[in-house]
Amino acid sequence: MLLIIPAVLDAAKLRQVRSLLDQGQFVDGRLSAGDTARRVKHNEELEPGSKHMQQLNALVMGALVQHPVYQAAAMPYRVATPYYARYTLGMSYGDHVDDPVMGPPGGQYRSDISTSIFLNAPEQYQGGELVIRTSYGEQTVKSAAGDAVIYPSSSQHHINEITAGERLVAVTWTQSMLRDPQQRELLYQLYQAREALRRSRPEDQTTHQVDQVYVNLARMWSEL
């Protein structure tokens, strides 16, 4: 499932995030990459020890993990601390698949879902599209500032070269309570139907039946 979640960060939070990033030090993004990704990765990332990291994570990840659409679509079990990436003129990230297991020893997690949160407007840079290979062909994403896109970490994807301006994103990964991406997609579709019924026919027997099926499928498929 490839899903864009609009306005995860509002204008006020985006201004705060941009101000904090402007004060930070960026380093070669290859320092955080695995052996395969290092060969095709050409960007910069906010230094992990940045004094502003805690504030940034409170703003960005606080908004993401509390968003109802993210909760319903990702069903997060573990969510990684994000990277804050910057792409300037000539930078790109070639075709790759994200590592299946990430994190330090003792804090490892399975990467089921990749998430990019766009931190500046698409008019502020040329190129820089996120291109994700799906069963329906390549999907190109260049979304509004504050939007997030989630997609299976098993998908091959790349970032097109920046030809003008600067691209800023926060990138994180999720270990879902549901390992199977098809189960996650089906359950999210059922969630959408359930929420529509709750709004339009809250006391209807069909609404109660759909709610019961949703809850029990989540129970059946969850790895917890």
Instruction: For residues 129 and 205, state if they share a domain.
Output: no
d(CA 150, CA 184): 12
Instruction: For residues 63 and 37, state if they share a domain.
Output: yes
Instruction: For residues 78 and 162, state if they share a domain.
Output: yes
Which residues span the domain enclosing 215?
A: 181-221
d(CA 196, CA 173): 29
Instruction: For residues 102 and 203, state if they share a domain.
Output: no
Instruction: Please report, for the domain that includes residue 48, its CATH number.
Output: 2.60.120.620
Instruction: For residues 211 and 162, state if they share a domain.
Output: no
Instruction: For residues 104 and 15, state if they share a domain.
Output: yes
Instruction: For residues 151 and 189, state if they share a domain.
Output: no
Instruction: For residues 206 and 106, state if they share a domain.
Output: no
d(CA 53, CA 11): 19
pLDDT at 39: 86
Domain end, chosen from 155, 176, 197, is at 176
Instruction: For residues 88 and 106, state if they share a domain.
Output: yes
d(CA 5, CA 146): 9
d(CA 76, CA 28): 29
**Given the structure tokens 């992990």, which residue do they identify?**
48
d(CA 33, CA 35): 7
How many separate domains does the chain show? 2
CB-CB contact of 210 with 193 (8 Å): yes
Instruction: For residues 168 and 191, state if they share a domain.
Output: no
Which value, in Å, is the radius of gyration of the alpha carbons in the chain? 18
Note the helical H segments in the chain: 11-22, 35-38, 53-66, 68-74, 181-200, 205-221
CB-CB contact of 155 with 133 (8 Å): yes
Q: What is the DSSP letter of 222?
A: -
What is the pTM assigned to this prediction? 0.94
- Give the number of other CB atoms < 10 A from CB of residue 68: 10
d(CA 58, CA 151): 23
Nearest to 128 by CA among 46, 1, 119: 119
d(CA 207, CA 194): 7
Instruction: For residues 27 and 105, state if they share a domain.
Output: yes
Instruction: For residues 95 and 31, state if they share a domain.
Output: yes
Instruction: Give the pLDDT of the chain (224 residues) as one tens digit per residue.
Output: 999 999 999 999 999 999 999 999 999 888 777 677 778 999 999 998 888 999 999 999 999 999 999 999 999 999 999 999 999 999 999 999 999 999 888 889 999 999 999 999 999 999 999 999 998 899 999 999 999 999 999 999 999 999 999 999 999 999 999 999 999 999 999 999 999 999 999 999 999 999 999 999 999 999 98
